[in-house]
Structure 1
Amino acid sequence: MVSTIANASAPRLRADALRNRERILVAARESFCLHGVDAPLDEIARRAGVGNATLYRHFPDRKSLLLHVLLYVNQRIIDLVEKSLVEESDPFEALRGLVLSGVRERVGGLSPLLATEVDHEDPLLKASKRRMHEVTEQLIQRAHASGQLRRDVGPGDLMIAIVRLTLPLPGSACGGSDDLAMRHLEIFLDGLRTPARSELPGPPRTLGDLKDEFC
């Protein structure tokens, strides 16, 4: 699904144009994760199966493309969480879906770009981050209320762990260590369950404690 936040003020696109836009965003997500912010735009167009003119028609420059990749990734995670809040009866399983989505969406590989290459005052990005925080808070509150999530874990702890545990290993291709990331995230999830088997140092982290590079 193409980001509804990202396209809130954009004219309605034809179905084929929407498909091209999403192919570009998916290709750019992989390329930026693999090669960093300097990933060649013509290579992104090739990966997406479109011409350079089509890419530039949707995204006039690199900054615009990077912003909309981040909006796209955020919206896909938000959509998943919103669906889980409605359809998933087990609060911890809904939380688990959010954590594991970090691997699929390349959150660890994209987070350094978010830290340095985008305007954090952009209204679309601010709205996207605000909604991400809202749904994450809802998941945490439900999991706490169910008694399944240890009380000394906050939403900030969750987001930091997702970023750290999905970072590509040095020298590995983007997505090349997905199985390892999934393995470590599952270990992390086991550590979130009650009863707690240790006492954590310091207070739970809130989303307000995080800097812009994390979410």
Structure 2
Amino acid sequence: MGSTTTATKRTATGGAHKGRADAVRNRERILHAAREAFVVHGAEASLDEIARTAGVGNATLYRHFPDRDALLHGVVHAVTERIADRAERALAEEGSSFEALRSFVFAAAEERVGALCPMLSGRFDPHEPHCQTSRERVERLTGELIRRAQRAGEVRTDIGVGDVMLALSQLTRPLPGVGCRRIERFVERHVQLFLDGLRAPAQSALPGHAATLEELREDL
């Protein structure tokens, strides 16, 4: 009797673990499909199509994300966390400080943050604690990458975190009337042009001052 009860508990526990693992995988698939759909089609991308692309039913999608805004929120948080994780890995890399910054910038650009930003206006609270914590983590780690490269004499000293954040947003944002897929082939090229402009010694004097995060948030 005791062994039967133990086996039953073990089976139940195993089933619970499998259920949680399946739920985590489904959530990740939904977020991946949603990010792709929102980047290409905007905030009004079909949720039915997102569910089909993720390989889940509509009920599963709505169980994880009850409405469109919740899904947008989930995508933005996931993207921000991935960018922060990539910054941490870049900081741990050995070798050139500039190459660490370069690998981070390209990884962040691959998330197409500029394509996601316009759709958030009016439907996303930038001060929501969870996302604010993730954003501050990205900014802190990016600042460390920049300062390390500046101390090594590999990056010009008249730029700051705000300059990099602003450039990433602008360089991955589609032009008016131009679909995101049409600019995909040019993003890497223009990110590299931007990175070349960060190198020390500086080839020119920049007008104004380094963009600060406080200035960029003045209208939030």
TM, length-normalised to structure 2: 0.85
The code of the aligned residue for 1:201 comes to P
* Contact kept? 1:115, 1:212, Cα under 8 Å: no
More helix by share: 2
Asked whether 1:185 is paired with 2:178, we answer no
Instruction: Name the structure 1 match of 2:163.
Output: 157
Greater C-alpha radius of gyration: 2
Q: 1:175 to 1:80 in 2, by over 3 A?
A: farther
Q: Which runs of 5+ in 1 are unaligned?
A: 1-11
Identity fraction in percent = 52
Cα shift at 1:196: 0.7
Asked whether 1:67 is paired with 2:73, we answer yes
149-158 or 116-125, larger mean C-alpha shift = 116-125
Q: Distance in 2 between matches of 1:108 and 1:203?
A: 23
Task: Give the match's secondary structure for 1:196.
Answer: coil
For 1:84-125, what per-residue CA distance to the aligned partner results, in whole angstroms no more than 9, with x for missing partners? 111243211111122212331111100112333211221111
Task: Give the match's secondary structure for 2:80.
Answer: helix
Q: Distance in 2 between matches of 1:210 and 1:152?
A: 17
TM, length-normalised to structure 1: 0.87
Aligned length: 203
Cα shift at 1:170: 4.1
Q: Which runs of 5+ in 2 are unaligned?
A: 1-16
* Contact kept? 1:95, 1:140, Cα under 8 Å: yes
The code of the aligned residue for 1:188 comes to F
Which of 96, 102, 123 is equivalent to 2:129? Answer: 123
Which of 189, 194, 199 is equivalent to 2:200? Answer: 194
Question: RMSD of the alignment, in Å?
Answer: 2.0
Cα shift at 1:33: 1.4
Cα shift at 1:172: 4.2
The code of the aligned residue for 2:214 comes to G
Task: Give the match's secondary structure for 2:121.
Answer: helix
Asked whether 1:146 is paired with 2:164, we answer no
The code of the aligned residue for 2:166 comes to I
